[in-house]
Amino acid sequence: MPSIVVERRVEWPDTDAAGHYHHSTVVRWVEAAEAALLRRLDLAHLFGSTPRVHFEADYRARLWFGDLVRIELRVTKVGTSSLHYAFTVRGKGEEQAATGRMTIAHSAARASGATPWPDEVRHLLVNAGAQAPETLS
């Protein structure tokens, strides 16, 4: 199944009053990894038709301003009209800083609910495999 690793740096607006990354930063990093993955699969046209229906994260370690982080996003299940991702955010020394999962649904333009994945999209989401990483260096 498809996966990708992207690198980001903890920026000043990513931190909170305690000086480490804010929990909401993980959501943005995961969505950035998803965008990179969909672009690599030539599925950018899905933007606007894949609402999030579930997001959960476990925060395991602090990340500080300037730290380099690696976000790994993996497709774990493709349903008729849903997609399940798992993610891991790693900091220095490959320490797990956050782990979790996100579920999205496919909802075609103007649909009032979930709609099945088009066959060609489903094929890519099941068979594409690991994609080249998006690194900062």
Q: What pLDDT tens digit does each residue of the chain (137 aa) get?
A: 999 999 999 999 999 988 899 999 999 999 999 999 999 999 999 998 999 999 999 999 999 999 999 999 999 999 999 999 999 999 988 899 999 999 999 998 788 899 999 999 999 999 999 999 999 97
Query: Is 0.75 surpassed by the pTM of this model?
Result: yes
What pLDDT sits at residue 29? 97
Q: Which fold has domain 3-127?
A: Thiol Ester Dehydrase; Chain A (3.10.129)
Domain range summary for the chain, segments of one domain joined by +: 3-127
What pLDDT sits at residue 83? 97
What pLDDT sits at residue 31? 96
DSSP state of 18: T
What pLDDT sits at residue 112? 85
Written in H, E and C, the secondary structure of 31-83 is HHHHHHHHHHCCCHHHCCCCCEEEEEEEECCCCECCCEEEEEEEEEEECCCEE
